[in-house]
Structure 1
Amino acid sequence: MATADQYDAFIEHVQRLTNVGTASQVLSWDQQVMMPAGGTPARSQQLSTLSSIHHELLTSDETATALDELDRGTLDDEQMAVVREIERQYDRAASVDRSLVEAISQTTSEALPEWEQAKNNDDFNAFAPTLERIVELKREYAAQIDPDADPYAVLFAEYEPYLDLETTTRILDRLRDRLVELIDAIEARGATIETNAFEGSYPVDEQATVCHDLLDTLGYPFEHGRLDTAPHPFSTGTQFDARVTTRYNESAPLEAITSTIHEFGHATYTLGLPRERYGTPLGQSRNLSVHESQSRLWENHVGRSKTFWENVLPVVAETFPTASDLPIQDVYETINQVYPDNTIRVEADELTYHLHIILRFEIEKALVRGEIEVEEIPQLWNEKMESYLGVRPQTDAEGCLQDIHWTHGNFGYFPTYSLGSVLAAQLFASATAEIDGLDEQLRAGEFDALHEWLTDAVHQHGQRYTTPELIEVATGEPFTADYFLEYVEEKYSELYEL
């Protein structure tokens, strides 16, 4: 077979692999959004089967032969990037027994309703045996991939394959130390800011209208997506169909607004991927850290800015009439207030959020490494919460049972949230330097220039570059926490008169 034909056949195989994976995403979306509660037994088998088929296709002789026989000397940079990514996936997957893949898929699918019930009943002990089983399966998964490596590093590489764990730990340690100091300074200063500009009760249907209108204002194409509710907000899809979810609290409408903007950031990255590359790594997002940088950029650097609210407050007031009389400064202060006494990660403010992430990172790393047992999690969780934020959860439901990630077996996922925020600040600094009058454009509700800059700098590349390479291509600098720390210290020093 000619070289070009070999590569075309390889790509056709890769596209089939991708389609199985995206079909699983749709079923998972349905399970969290639309599926009736009694559908779990069948859905767990469906997802397990698709997971097995995906594993079989990825680790098949066809994949191995194609990788072996490609004449790499004739491939261009983009084609080599595709080969690099598939080869990385193949090497990991080929090391894992199909029976283990099926066991993980079925166990985590069945764990979802068990976690939900345990959370609702505030009963960690009821979920502990399932969590122990998930941890055992993921340890075995890591051991089959690389028996000599740190199992947590192996699992972390599932979500961030090109940033090493040592670099990640160094960045998170730096954030922990600096943010604890900044939060302590804010607490000691005792400055009074507005904290409840949106006081009152806001019906869910009205909040849904506001969130829909804000997505429309930001440029979300509803012909390629939809807005729904989920217990844990998320976004999923492809460049043709990128869906967002949020959740509503009648006494706290800003939670739904910021969550929706956050998920919009994920969706706009997905929708910005090149359509002609669908089905290949060049049409897929780089990784979770980069994905999170897009959601955090839109949520924090845009959605929590004063310039943004100067434009969208009238949009919000169309549904919430009382908002028409709110001073912009009051809204800005409310949406950026720091409240370390909050125990819920998804309700945390921009600063304390990272301490929520860091305590999870430290716990799951110790858990996977066997340094702690599952039964120790509640106490350790509460101790770290008290140490970092000065608050202790009253229940496990608002403590170690609040997140869905471990239910899915997603150990190594949490660090990408903070890494994404760090990268968001670096990207936004570059965008601000390169886009003339970006602040004025955001104030006027003009988001096209920022969309285009992000598409050019990040989205269009898919997985052509590794993470460090992509960051340098986009910003001209290596990955650094400097911009994030400068951003939060300047912003919150001004807000709290430090």
Structure 2
Amino acid sequence: MATEASTESAPEAYDELVAKVKRISNVQNAAGVLGWDQQVMMPDEGTPARSQQLSALSAISHELLVEDGIGDLLDDLDSADLSEEQAAVVREVRREFERAARVPTELVQEISETSSEALPAWKEAKAENDFSKFAPLLERHVELKREYAEHIDPDKDPYEVLFAEFEPCLPLEQAEEILDEVRETLVPMIDEIRESESDLATDAFAGTFDEDEQMELSRSTLDTLGYPWERGRIDVAPHPFSTGTMFDARVTTRFDESDPLGAVFSTIHEFGHATYTHGLPDEQYGTPLGEARDLSVHESQSRLWENHVGRSQAFWQQFLPTFQEHFSQSEDVTVEEAYEAANQVYEDNLIRVEADELTYHMHIIIRFEIERMLISGDLDVEDVPEVWNDKYEEYLGVRPETDSEGCLQDIHWSHGNFGYFPTYSLGSVMAAQLFAAAEEDIDDLDGQIREGEFDDLHEWLTSNVHSHGQRYETNDLVVEATGEDFVADYFLDYVTEKYGELYDLDSA
């Protein structure tokens, strides 16, 4: 487990650097709480003030990083004798500093203001199925992010620069190679599944499920998995998310009265994010050793809990009675039927967060391709709905009838988060490799899940992933946890075996 570096042997410049970094972290975490409030609790007309508040904190954070002597301290530490953990802290701060120092504070502030204004515009556009209400702010985001990338590295593909904002330790080329392998395996598999004659229990949870009771079920789900309520809470948000620190990692979910599994898996997914945050070492709060290792690793934790645990037959053997306690109309559903319902591959799903485990990745690829065209200038914002619908028809065989179920369904572009989406699929791939390693190390993990015992899995993930914070870069962390390089093989073997058995596929 990562432990706090000894301050007795640390150079004076290192101690001063850490103090400044902790101050920046506190400003950013305060902004995070305001961001959570904006999505969960803030009155509808609070945006003008909240926009200015978040913009000010964003500017302060940027100024503290680039104008408070951090560059001089990093120079002083260039040849210092540092421990491995101290060197990791300096490496991570240097990366952030070098990017930030190239970007004017005014641009950082403008991006923050645009994000605050875009969020309510997106909510309104989605509610009213009117892309034109969001389009001007999306266009502004695209312009600002091109300018942002230009400042950081004018010689690089701007999308590559933006991808590094979320995944700085994985080359975009490596990410694309992994995504290509996923696409090449899943496209024919999905076609074969749709042509199969397997009769899964897809309507096992048909009916109407009260939203208030779904919230109680979500709380029971978190209880089952071991969520520490003294360090978190659950709320409702239009687009589920998790945010916070190891002392306060909150989750959100959402409900559909006709789809109780959607809330269950959304809750488990966000629990995975929160348990990563909770697993970061308390004593490293405010430093890179107390921060998650970027989004692919973060997503690996949510997808591991959602798919490898929550969608497993073992999980439903112990969780189905809990579900039935909340919804008696499902009292006749069997474990096998629940497992099949949890893993059906949809014929006509349009919504990413409601997608099954396989077609989910086609949703990601569509967004990835559209983002690249937007940033490169090969696609105008006004044409996004039509291109989006065309790609859904091409890749998934369905065409959205409204923008609300099409290009307005995701929140990410309202934040200006271009380069974010690939990390979802990369995280799923990583989850399979990590879970396979955990199965090797934990005696009868499947049996433990069947009994509702998750302590060993929590401890394995904390020891091998969470406790390191940003000590290791992404590829090195995967090697440290699994003993092997980050590859797509484990994910491809996992989905081939699982769905081959479920759908009796010839390729299995």
Relative to the length of structure 1, the TM-score reads 0.98
The match for 1:156 among 153, 163, 166 is 163
The match for 1:481 among 471, 484, 488 is 488
2-side partners of 1:91 and 1:332: how far apart?
Answer: 48
Alignment-derived partner of residue 414 in structure 1: 421
Is the Cα–Cα contact under 8 Å of residues 111 and 407 in structure 1 kept in the other structure? Answer: yes
Alignment-derived partner of residue 364 in structure 1: 371
* Pair 1:373-2:355 in alignment: no
* Pair 1:441-2:461 in alignment: no
Q: CA deviation at 1:191?
A: 1.5
Alignment-derived partner of residue 400 in structure 1: 407
2-side partners of 1:422 and 1:455: how far apart?
Answer: 19
2-side partners of 1:268 and 1:72: how far apart?
Answer: 37
The match for 1:65 among 67, 72, 86 is 72
* Pair 1:296-2:303 in alignment: yes
* Pair 1:105-2:117 in alignment: no
Structure 1 residues 341 and 81, CA, compared in 2 at 3 Å: closer, same or farther? same
Can you list the C-alpha shifts for 1:399-448, whole angstroms capped at 9, x where unaligned? 11111111100000000000000000000000011111111111011000
1-side partners of 2:302 and 2:79: how far apart?
Answer: 36
2-side partners of 1:281 and 1:269: how far apart?
Answer: 14
Q: Which residue type is aligned with residue 89 of structure 1?
A: E
2-side partners of 1:496 and 1:364: how far apart?
Answer: 33
Alignment-derived partner of residue 86 in structure 2: 79
Q: Superposed, which structure 2 residues align to 1:105-254 within 5 Å? A: 105-254=112-261
Q: Which residue type is aligned with residue 419 of structure 1?
A: L
2-side partners of 1:72 and 1:292: how far apart?
Answer: 35
- SS of alignment partner, residue 245 of structure 1: strand
* Root-mean-square deviation over aligned CA pairs: 1.2
- SS of alignment partner, residue 292 of structure 2: coil
Listed as ranges, the gaps of 5+ residues in structure 1 are none
Runs of 4+ in 1 over 6 A off after TM superposition: none
Alignment-derived partner of residue 286 in structure 2: 279
Q: CA deviation at 1:68?
A: 1.3
2-side partners of 1:149 and 1:76: how far apart?
Answer: 33
Is the Cα–Cα contact under 8 Å of residues 340 and 352 in structure 1 kept in the other structure? Answer: no
Q: Which residue type is aligned with residue 33 of structure 1?
A: V
Can you list the C-alpha shifts for 1:309-357, whole angstroms capped at 9, x where unaligned? 1011112222112333311010000010000311111110000000000
Provide the aligned length of Structure 1 versus Structure 2: 498
2-side partners of 1:210 and 1:94: how far apart?
Answer: 47
* Pair 1:463-2:470 in alignment: yes
Q: CA deviation at 1:108?
A: 1.1
Alignment-derived partner of residue 5 in structure 2: none
1-side partners of 2:68 and 2:62: how far apart?
Answer: 12
Q: CA deviation at 1:64?
A: 1.2
* Pair 1:37-2:55 in alignment: no
Relative to the length of structure 2, the TM-score reads 0.96
Structure 1 residues 237 and 2, CA, compared in 2 at 3 Å: closer, same or farther? closer
Alignment-derived partner of residue 394 in structure 2: 387
Q: CA deviation at 1:130?
A: 1.4
2-side partners of 1:340 and 1:425: how far apart?
Answer: 25
2-side partners of 1:135 and 1:295: how far apart?
Answer: 28
The match for 1:305 among 312, 334, 340 is 312
Q: Which residue type is aligned with residue 104 of structure 1?
A: I
Can you list the C-alpha shifts for 1:155-174, whole angstroms capped at 9, x where unaligned? 00000001111111111122
Q: CA deviation at 1:9?
A: 1.5
Is the Cα–Cα contact under 8 Å of residues 285 and 463 in structure 1 kept in the other structure? Answer: yes
Can you list the C-alpha shifts for 1:70-125, whole angstroms capped at 9, x where unaligned? 26431101000000000000000000001100110001110111111111221112
1-side partners of 2:477 and 2:10: how far apart?
Answer: 29
> Is 314-323 or 106-115 further displaced after alignment?
314-323
2-side partners of 1:413 and 1:239: how far apart?
Answer: 23
Q: CA deviation at 1:3?
A: 5.7
Structure 1 residues 373 and 2, CA, compared in 2 at 3 Å: closer, same or farther? same
- SS of alignment partner, residue 237 of structure 1: strand
1-side partners of 2:173 and 2:89: how far apart?
Answer: 27
2-side partners of 1:257 and 1:391: how far apart?
Answer: 25
Can you list the C-alpha shifts for 1:115-157, whole angstroms capped at 9, x where unaligned? 1111122111232221111100000000000111100000000
1-side partners of 2:442 and 2:287: how far apart?
Answer: 31
2-side partners of 1:173 and 1:267: how far apart?
Answer: 29
Q: CA deviation at 1:69?
A: 1.4
Structure 1 residues 340 and 171, CA, compared in 2 at 3 Å: closer, same or farther? farther
- SS of alignment partner, residue 243 of structure 1: strand
> Is 319-328 or 451-460 further displaced after alignment?
319-328
